Amino acid sequence: MIRAAQGARLERRLVNRLDVPSSVHWHGIRIDNAMDGVAGLTQVPVPPGGSFDYAFDLPDAGTYWYHAHTNSMEQVARGLSGALIVDEPSPPDVDRDEILMLDDWLIDPETGRLADDFANPMMRSHAGRMGNLAGVNGRWDFALEAKQNERLRLRLINAANARIFVLRLEGLAGWTVALDGMPLEAPEPVTAEIVLAPAQRVDLIVDVTAGQGAPAGLLMQAGQDSWEALAELRVTGRAAARANGW
């Protein structure tokens, strides 16, 4: 995770220790083209052993991410991505600010490892592949501790390259406050499913309504009418109730 204040200048050196070329795209950031990281278009790919210095200003606050942009279909699926959070000067009043990178992985059931076949024509033609295991922040069993009545900001980032996540809140009252790094003019109560396509982000403010031990968190649609836990909130204890909605 890279985190910086709005208006700050970000300077990062990509050192390529892979045995293939790579580059970094800063997704959603207003940026000089030369720093945009799209190999073959805005820069020469960084060869194995080479490096590239990225330097740019961060004009807007919000939830962004960065990822490899050379053979992205394979490199992003192998995990070359991270959250890029630009903090506003006066952030909303919440108990905690949590980043949830949603992803899926295609696991070979024989080996239990990431399936190595990135040459599959169907996946290549779609520039992405559907995984058979979904998770958050690199874990399939992601969970957070929370108290009833706590107010959290959840920054969801879809880092999967093919999966459209359809999400529901459980044991939470939520408001959407930003989409793709852009704050909404007014928060919108979450009353239906949240649909997040690859690379999209949504910032939610959620109040934990579930009592101790009751189910809470994010559910993902797993089939026509089946939902499974994607991120669990383990509710223990209770904070003072907040008087206001968001």
Q: Pick from 155, 150, 151, 137: which is nearest to 203 by CA?
A: 155
**Nearest approach, Cβ of residue 43 and Cu ion (Å):** 15
- Of residues 157 through 216, those in contact with Cu ion by CB under 5 A are 199
Residue among 27 and 151 whose Cβ is closer to Cu ion: 27
> Which segments within 180-225 are labelled E, that is strand?
182-189, 194-196, 201-208, 217-223
Helix, coil or strand: residue 108: strand
**Nearest approach, Cβ of residue 66 and Cu ion (Å):** 8
Q: Give the residue, chosen from 10, 16, 26, 27, that forms a contact with Cu ion under the rule CB under 5 A.
A: 27
Give the number of residues in contact with Cu ion, rule: CB under 5 A. Answer: 2
Buried b (16+ CB within 10 A) or exposed e, 132-148: eebbbbeeeebebebeb
Residue among 162 and 239 whose Cβ is closer to Cu ion: 162
Residue among 203 and 232 whose Cβ is closer to Cu ion: 203
Phi-psi region of 245 (alpha: psi -120 to 50; beta: other; left: phi over 0): beta
Rounded distance between C-alpha atoms, residue 176 and residue 187, angstroms: 6
Q: How many residues does the chain have?
A: 246
Comparing every residue's Cβ against Cu ion, the nearest one is: 27
Give the per-residue contact string, 93-112, with Cu ion (x = CB under 5 A; - = no).
--------------------
Residue among 10 and 235 whose Cβ is closer to Cu ion: 10
- Per CB under 5 A, the segment of 20-28, 98-106, 216-224, 233-241 that binds Cu ion is 20-28
Rounded distance between C-alpha atoms, residue 80 and residue 101, angstroms: 12
**Nearest approach, Cβ of residue 122 and Cu ion (Å):** 22
Residue among 38 and 239 whose Cβ is closer to Cu ion: 38
**Nearest approach, Cβ of residue 170 and Cu ion (Å):** 29
Going by C-beta distance under 8 Å and a sequence separation of 6 or more, which residues neighbour residue 110? Answer: none
User: Which residues sit at the interface with Cu ion, rule CB under 5 A?
Assistant: 27, 199
